[in-house]
Amino acid sequence: MAIVKFNKKACTVNPLKMSQPVGGALAFMGVKDAMPLFHGSQGCTSFGLVLFVRHFKEAIPLQTTAMSEVATVLGGYENVEQAIVNISNKQKARLIGICSTGVTETKGDDVDAYIKLVRQQHPELEHVSLVYVSTPDFKDAFQDGWEKTVAKIIETLVKPVEVDAPRNPKKLVVLPGSHLTPGDLDELRDIIEAFGLEPYFLPDLAGSLDGHIPEDFTPTTLGGISLEEIADLGDAFHAIALGSHMRLAAETLEKKAGIPFRIFDRMIGLIPTDEFIAHLAAISGREVPNKIKRQRGQLVDAMLDGHFHTGGKKLAIGLEPDFLYDLSNFLHEMGCKIEVAVTTNDKPILEQVPIEEVLVGDLEDFEKMAPGCDLLITHAHGRQAADRLHIPLFRMGLPIFDRLGAAHITSVGYRGARDLIFKIANVFIENMHVVRPDTWYPHPVEGHASEHAPASTTH
């Protein structure tokens, strides 16, 4: 059982954390024809935009209510109204996902009331769905923004269904956490479909931010789950939530449509994947397909080959809570020793990180504790620490702005875990300590020489 500690600093140095609204915006980006909208000053939106553009290397739909200093004082109804009208008319968005920011939360804008008023004033916009999530910057973090947004999308847009209504025995709702990449979702889709099931991902970043070249271009999201599909989720026979922070969404869906669910806190590694596959076999009533059986064998083999290199390696990991929990346990199971675990904010799941102490802190703390470790795992901002400490950095999480392919990093399923082992083991192989004549007995030889050298020169 890990204890969660907090750093005692006033000043955050080299933040690990990103703000809540950007997590919310990303969730909206997994819905088709959507436009995420920050209710706040333009700068917050611009930073969020740049963050995602640099990570995904894609044009990112994200707009702002452009609150000026005066507007923040007077309240933002007009800005919200204008933004909704413009986005509906110009960008033809069918869903506008509104996230509040620090600025508008400090003033206390009642956006729910604004939306009611907009609905009254603009009956012509009836066809546009509006979802509002309260996500002040000065509270919580990225993962929380995602969590609240997915739950709010379900609450607002899924049509209610009676518990005993007839259900589609193939239709499976998948609620992925914010730490899963488009690549992960693609892998899961493959696996689930192999069981004859039809997965509906909410949100579906694999449909929108996987870097495809779309048939039809729009200024809104380029794919993802459609509004119709969301509305009709209710007749699914089952739901799975990936990551402990997706509980809220799963429970909301259960309340709304009586869909039973199961939460998978862990998705990376042999045992978690076994459990996941067994569950799919159980709910589908099908045998595990041969292809997946073969993949399991490959993962086991990768573990055997990889453990020589991962065994005993000391790791420093800095990630958001659910990802930290999943990845650190996986690497622990590969024989690594988790020496440093830093995260963004406190969550119950952190108790189960295989370490004595998890620190809620920043990358300065991370850097200070990491010396002696063999590998750093965090997002791209770990690069400065890696440089200074001369420890290799394995980039995971978001943002990864200085490497390509961030959207396609895959770590779930047997194949994902297999490849992850190879990649990490290869980093260790590349950085293997070179053995030299003085590796084992450095002092006697050198000491002997240096003891006598000065004596001879003084003669």
Partner 1 sequence: MSSVSATIQDVFNEPGCAKNAGKSEKEKKKGCTKQLQPGGAAGGCAFDGAKIALQPITDVAHLVHGPIACEGNSWDNRGAFSSGSSLYRTGFTTDINETDVVFGGEKRLYKSIKEIIEKYNPPSVFVYQTCVPAMIGDDIDAVCKAASKKFGKPIVPVNSPGFVGPKNLGNKLAGEALLAHVIGTVEPEYTTPYDVNIIGEYNLAGEMWQVEPLLKEIGFRIISCISGDAKYNEVAQAHRAKATMMVCSKAMINITRKLEDRYGIPYFEGSFYGIGDMSDSIRQLAQLVIDQGAPPEFMDRAEAVIAREEKKAWEAMAAYTPRLKGKKVLLITGGVKSWSVVAALQEVGLEIVGTSVKKSTKEDKERIKELMGEDAHAFDDMSPREMYNMLKDARADIMLSGGRSQFIALKASMPWLDINQERHHAYAGYEGMVALVKEIDKALYNPIWEQVRRAAPWQNPAETWQAKAEAEAAREAAELAADPAKAEAKRRSKKICKCKSVDLGTIEDAIRTGSLKTVADVTAATNAGGGCTGCCGTIEDIIADVLQPAEAVVLDPVQAEEKRRAKKVCNCKEVTVGAIEDAIRAKGLSTVAEVTAETEAGSGCGSCGETVEEILGEVLASVPRIAAE
Query: According to CB under 6 A, which one of 9, 43, 116, 196 is a site residue for ligand SF4?
Result: 43
Query: According to CB under 8 A, which one of 126, 162, 164, 216 is a site residue for partner 1?
Result: 216
Q: Is 221 in the site for partner 1 (CB under 8 A)?
A: no
Cβ–Cβ < 8 Å for 332, 338: yes
Q: Which stretch binds ligand SF4 (CB under 6 A): 37-45, 272-280, 315-323, 344-352?
A: 37-45
- What is the rounded distance in angstroms from the CA atom of residue 181 to the CA atom of residue 7? 30
183 closest CA partner among 207, 212, 206: 206
Smallest gap, in angstroms, from Cβ of residue 211 to partner 1? 9
Cβ–Cβ < 8 Å for 218, 93: no
Omega before 214 within 30 of 0, i.e. cis: no
Q: Is 103 in the site for ligand SF4 (CB under 6 A)?
A: yes
Strands (E), 278-391: 314-318, 337-343, 357-360, 375-378
Q: Is 47 in the site for ligand SF4 (CB under 6 A)?
A: yes
Q: Which stretch binds ligand SF4 (CB under 6 A): 38-46, 121-129, 317-325, 359-367?
A: 38-46
Strands (E), 56-197: 63-64, 95-100, 129-133, 168-176
Q: Which of residues 139-198 bind partner 1 (CB under 8 A)?
A: 139, 141
Q: Is 102 in the site for ligand SF4 (CB under 6 A)?
A: yes
Q: Is 131 in the site for partner 1 (CB under 8 A)?
A: no
Indicate which of ligand SF4, partner 1, none lies near residue 86 (CB less than 5 to 8 Å, by partner kind): partner 1
Smallest gap, in angstroms, from Cβ of residue 104 to partner 1? 10
- What is the rounded distance in angstroms from the CA atom of residue 412 to the CA atom of residue 426? 19
Indicate which of partner 1, ligand SF4, none lies near residue 82 (CB less than 5 to 8 Å, by partner kind): partner 1
- Pick 44 or 400: Cβ nearer ligand SF4: 44
| Cα end-to-end distance, the chain, whole Å | 65
Q: Which of residues 53-72 bind partner 1 (CB under 8 A)?
A: 53-54, 57-60, 62-69, 72
Indicate which of ligand SF4, partner 1, none lies near residue 90 (CB less than 5 to 8 Å, by partner kind): partner 1
Smallest gap, in angstroms, from Cβ of residue 375 to partner 1? 21
Cβ–Cβ < 8 Å for 145, 48: no
- Pick 79 or 252: Cβ nearer partner 1: 79
From the CA atom positions of the chain, what is the Rg in Å? 25
- Pick 69 or 430: Cβ nearer ligand SF4: 69
Smallest gap, in angstroms, from Cβ of residue 17 to ligand SF4? 15
Q: Which of residues 90-119 bind partner 1 (CB under 8 A)?
A: 90-91, 101-103, 106-107
Q: In this structure, what DSSP letter does residue 349 have?
A: G
Smallest gap, in angstroms, from Cβ of residue 80 to partner 1? 7
CB atoms under 10 Å from CB of 441, counted, come to 9
Q: How far is CA 211 from CA 375, 381, 419, in A?
A: 29, 23, 21
Smallest gap, in angstroms, from Cβ of residue 73 to ligand SF4? 14
Q: How far is CA 207 from CA 57, 136, 224, 291, in A?
A: 15, 28, 4, 24
Q: Is 389 in the site for partner 1 (CB under 8 A)?
A: no
Number of residues that bind partner 1 (CB under 8 A): 73
Q: Is 44 in the site for ligand SF4 (CB under 6 A)?
A: yes
40 closest CA partner among 144, 127, 138: 138
Q: Enumerate the β-bridge partners of residue 340.
A: 316
Contact string 285-324 vs partner 1 (x = CB under 8 A): ----------------------------------------
Q: Which stretch binds ligand SF4 (CB under 6 A): 41-49, 194-202, 336-344, 417-425?
A: 41-49
Smallest gap, in angstroms, from Cβ of residue 438 to partner 1? 33
* Continuous H helices in 158-269: 182-194, 205-208, 227-231, 247-257
Smallest gap, in angstroms, from Cβ of residue 35 to partner 1? 8
318 closest CA partner among 90, 39, 7, 102: 7
Indicate which of partner 1, ligand SF4, none lies near residue 12 (CB less than 5 to 8 Å, by partner kind): partner 1
Q: Which of residues 347-386 bind partner 1 (CB under 8 A)?
A: 364, 381, 384
Q: Are strands 337-343 and 314-318 parallel, antiparallel or unpaired?
A: parallel
Cβ–Cβ < 8 Å for 31, 153: yes
Q: Is 71 in the site for ligand SF4 (CB under 6 A)?
A: no
363 closest CA partner among 350, 377, 382: 382
Contact positions toward ligand SF4, by CB under 6 A?
A: 41, 43-44, 47, 102-103
